[in-house]
Amino acid sequence: MFAYYLDLAWHSLRRNPILTALMVLAIGLGIGASMTMITVLHVLTDDPLPGRSSQLFTPHLDPLPLNYKQGGDSPDAADNVTWPDAMALLKAHRAERQAAMAGGTLLVRPARADLRPFNVDGRYATADFFAMFGMPFEHGQSWSAADDAARAHVVVLSDTLYRKLFGNGSGIGQDVRLGEHDFRVIGVTADWQPKPMFYADPGAQHYSDVDQFFLPLSAAVDLKLSTNGNQSGWGKNDDSTSLTGATMTWLQFWVQLNSPAQAQAYRQFLVDYSAQQKAQGRFERPSTDAKLYSLMGWLKHENLVPNDVRLQLWLALGFLFVCMVNIVALLLAKFLRRSSEISVRRALGARRRDIFLQLGIESALIGVAGGVLGLVIAQIGLWSVRHRPDDYAQLAQMDMPMLLGTLALAIIASVVAGLLPAWRACRVQPALQLKTS
């Protein structure tokens, strides 16, 4: 029976090619515009570490004085932590794993004569960084807590940078000159590019930045290596410009907590720590200002999805609604013009639900055609997004779930749009139509 209704729908659509083309075009434009923006939003809100994100948290302390004035568009100074606070959290070791970190850009001076010096972005971090985030190693290993304490001059390279410096040769154990200092290569990670780069400084380019080297944070501070990101100081002496001072926030801090109970205990620890610092006269704000953000909660707190993307999504969905209203009108006109045909079928024994199903399949067939057109339009829309200067633009790619979602949305939209016309058509009184025809 389904094949029979499908054949009827196909012949009905072919009898009115202009009307059919208008309906397919309407649904295609609406679906294409909507899926373009839904895909962009999907990219921006996707989980950067599936399977691990539920165990990753970042503490939020607030050592800022009450009279501190935040800059207009600059990131919240309290989103980073100070060196003394980071070291205190590391020493307390209340989490399964924990790491303090900061970004940096260094000049690489290759030993190869055919390579000129070039700048690369990287990360200064403590030893748990790799295990906590599940970074895969291709060669060698990470450094240890003992290396952190010894301020060891060791480095872990990304696979891309490793191959650029050493080709197919073995670089483990060799030295790489970064800035003005030599570091011994002890490991190579597979290229690791979580999007967004959630652990970076709030002011970073979260969708385009890539870390290509990793150094012990203690060594970076000891050697006074340059750092990237937001540095906020509020002291009245040299402490306000010292990276190891108590009045300069610049570090990011992440912890791994494997259960809700551990997360609750760590949250209470942060409140107690803040209360202790307030009692010592260092913190001025209430200890209850201390927070613990989950990974996805942190992304929401940082509001990484631009407001213009949300606005464009609502505009696209509004356009889809307008297209559906037009399709309702077109289908209503099309179905009511077939009242005589429907009445003959009813007189021959077809039930109302049979007519309703027949017209519903015809609407779904329009949706399939509109979905295919919508896919083409969405791909053109995403191509235009990828040519924008935004750092997330290159990620605007439609994956398989989004492809299937486009077709599903088109079919659902067309079927929903066809409900009222199909209901009105199957309510036609056969006797009245047969009498007047």
Each residue's pLDDT tens digit, 366-414 = 888 888 888 888 889 888 888 877 767 777 788 788 888 888 888 888 8
Q: What is the pLDDT of residue 73?
A: 60
H-helix or E-strand spanning residue 422: helix 400-426
Report in angstroms the alpha-carbon separations of 337 from 12, 24, 424, 428. Answer: 12, 19, 12, 11
Q: Is residue 182 part of a domain?
A: yes
Q: Are residues 186 and 315 in the same domain?
A: no
∠ CA 41-321-18 to the nearest 5 degrees?
A: 115
What confidence category does residue 137 fall into, taking pLDDT thresholds of 50, 70 and 90?
A: very high
**How many alpha carbons fall within 13 Å on the CB side of residue 392?**
19
Q: What is the pLDDT of residue 193?
A: 83
Determine what percent of the chain is predicted with pLDDT higher than 90: 37
Q: Are residues 167 and 195 in the same domain?
A: yes
Positions of E strands within 222-358: 232-233, 248-256, 291-294
Residue 103 burial (C-beta neighbours within 10 Å; 0-12, 13-18, 19+): buried
Q: Are 359 and 426 spatial neighbours (Cβ–Cβ below 8 Å)?
A: yes
| The dihedral formed by the CA atoms of 234, 237, 243 and 248, expressed in degrees to the nearest 10 | -10
pLDDT at residue 326 greater than cutoff 70: yes
pLDDT at residue 238 greater than cutoff 60: no
Q: Is residue 295 part of a domain?
A: no
Q: Is residue 265 part of a domain?
A: no
H-helix or E-strand spanning residue 218: helix 217-222
Q: Which of 256, 287, 316 is the last residue of a domain?
A: 256
**How many alpha carbons fall within 13 Å on the CB side of residue 88?**
16
Q: Which residue has the higher pLDDT, 87 or 421?
A: 87
Report in angstroms the alpha-carbon separations of 242 from 101, 190, 232. Answer: 16, 34, 11
Q: Are residues 119 and 244 in the same domain?
A: yes
Range 253-290 burial, b when 16+ CB lie within 10 A, else e: bbbbbeeeebbeebbebbbebbeebbeeeebebebebb
Q: Are strands 181-189 and 175-178 parallel, antiparallel or unpaired?
A: antiparallel
Which 3 state secondary structure label does DSSP give 366?
helix
Q: Are residues 198 and 118 in the same domain?
A: yes
Q: Are residues 86 and 178 in the same domain?
A: yes
Q: What is the pLDDT of residue 430?
A: 58
Considering only CA atoms, give the Rg of the chain. 30
Distance in angstroms (rounded) separating the CA atoms of residues 176 and 173: 10
What is the domain count for the chain?
Answer: 2
Q: Are residues 337 and 244 in the same domain?
A: no
Tokens of 325: 């209203």
Q: Is residue 427 part of a domain?
A: yes
Cis peptide before 196 (omega within 30 of 0): yes
Which residues fall within 8 angstroms of residue 6, CB to CB, at 6 or more apart? 361, 365
pLDDT at residue 26 greater than cutoff 70: yes
Q: Are residues 167 and 37 in the same domain?
A: no
Q: Are residues 186 and 236 in the same domain?
A: yes
What confidence category does residue 1 fall into, taking pLDDT thresholds of 50, 70 and 90?
A: low
Residue 30 burial (C-beta neighbours within 10 Å; 0-12, 13-18, 19+): buried
Q: Are residues 341 and 227 in the same domain?
A: no
Distance in angstroms (rounded) separating the CA atoms of residues 366 and 358: 13
Q: Are 58 and 300 spatial neighbours (Cβ–Cβ below 8 Å)?
A: no
Q: Which residue has the higher pLDDT, 389 or 164?
A: 164
Q: Is residue 293 part of a domain?
A: no
Q: Are 432 and 378 spatial neighbours (Cβ–Cβ below 8 Å)?
A: no
Which 3 state secondary structure label does DSSP give 296?
helix
Q: Which of 41-45, 168-172, 215-219, 224-228 has the highest mean pLDDT?
A: 215-219
pLDDT at residue 72 greater than cutoff 60: no
Q: Is residue 336 part of a domain?
A: yes
Q: Are residues 79 and 221 in the same domain?
A: yes
> What size, in residues, is the chain?
437
Q: Are residues 232 and 352 in the same domain?
A: no
Residue 22: give the domain boundaries.
Answer: 2-47+306-436
Q: Is residue 191 part of a domain?
A: yes
Q: Are residues 8 and 73 in the same domain?
A: no
Report in angstroms the alpha-carbon separations of 232 from 74, 75, 135, 288. Answer: 10, 10, 30, 22
Q: Are strands 213-216 and 118-125 parallel, antiparallel or unpaired?
A: parallel
Q: Is residue 294 part of a domain?
A: no
